[in-house]
Amino acid sequence: MFEFRHITKQFSEKFVLQDFSFKIAEGDKVNIVGRSGIGKTTLFRLLLGFEKPDSGAIYYKNEPITDINVWELRKKVAYVSQDLNIGRGNVQTFFDETLSLKANILQKSNSKAGIKKQFACFELSEDILSKNIEELSGGEKQRIEIINALILNRKIFFLDEITSALDKVLKAKTLDYFLQNPDFTVLYISHDSYLPTGVELKTLKLDEL
């Protein structure tokens, strides 16, 4: 489904990726590991077209990702960033804004029930819907961002440290939610060495260059 072909990416003097190649098939669960600052998040930014490789190309369904078709890809991928600056204002409005985007309008009809289900699943109280994002704790924001990704009903997930502020039980539950679903293609960055049972994980290790 995705393929990195001989990607090189440099920031100022430092190489983040050098002649990097990797294949990801539909349904794969890929754990991206490597010490912090090595460029794990850069992989997601390359995939989403926010950064461009200095050389090489990334393929999605055997087509190279370009400035033009990346807009379509952004409608198929659900990205959960590690950054908790996801906006301000009311939580329900936050979900509404996501669903009001032209690309997501079809998901709007059933969203109320979907959100309710996800809140229960991720152990959030429904009072939070009427709260403001800036009042929430880190763990709550993280789960709001996860639910915001799930209500889009997409099948490809890029998850960047999405459990860093969650407790151990919720961490396992959250990762299982994504990793145990055979329909999902998941790329995730996580500092925890959590191993889900019965799931074949691929590991993408970024090493010192």
Partner 1 sequence: MIGAQDLSGFSMFMCGIMLLVPLLGVWYLKLGIARNLFVSTLRMVVQLILIGFFLEYIFKYNNWLINLSWFLVMITSAVFSVIKNSDLKLNHFVLPVLLSFILANFLVVLYFNYFIVNIDFILDAKYMIAIGGMILGNSLRSNVVGLGDFYKALRKDEQLYFYKLSLGATKYEALLPFAKRSFISALNPTIATMATMGIVSLPGMMTGQILGGSVPLVAIKYQIAIMIAILASTFLSISLSLLFTVRYSFHKNGTLKKEIFRISNN
The contact set with partner 1 (CB under 8 A) reads: 45, 48-50, 52, 67-68, 70-71, 74-75, 77-79, 81, 83, 85-87, 98, 101-104, 148, 152
Q: How near is the Cβ of 207 to partner 1 at its closest, in Å?
A: 26
Between residues 10 and 104, which has the closer beta carbon with respect to partner 1? 104
Between residues 98 and 174, which has the closer beta carbon with respect to partner 1? 98
Between residues 36 and 180, which has the closer beta carbon with respect to partner 1? 36
Between residues 66 and 130, which has the closer beta carbon with respect to partner 1? 66
Report helix, strand or coil for 176: helix
Q: How near is the Cβ of 109 to partner 1 at its closest, in Å?
A: 17
DSSP 109-132: TTHHHHHHHHHHHTT--GGGGGSB
Q: Secondary structure of the chain: what % helix, strand, coil (to 5)?
A: 35, 25, 40
Contact 202, 29 (CB under 8 A): yes
Q: How near is the Cβ of 91 to partner 1 at its closest, in Å?
A: 15
Q: How near is the Cβ of 156 to partner 1 at its closest, in Å?
A: 11
Spatial separation of the C-alpha atoms in residues 196 and 94, rounded to whole Å: 31
Quick count: other Cβ atoms within 10 Å of Cβ 162? 24
Quick count: other Cβ atoms within 10 Å of Cβ 71? 11
Q: How near is the Cβ of 40 to partner 1 at its closest, in Å?
A: 15
Between residues 105 and 195, which has the closer beta carbon with respect to partner 1? 105
Q: How near is the Cβ of 154 to partner 1 at its closest, in Å?
A: 9
Between residues 61 and 71, which has the closer beta carbon with respect to partner 1? 71
Contact 29, 1 (CB under 8 A): no
Element (H, E) at 158: strand 156-160
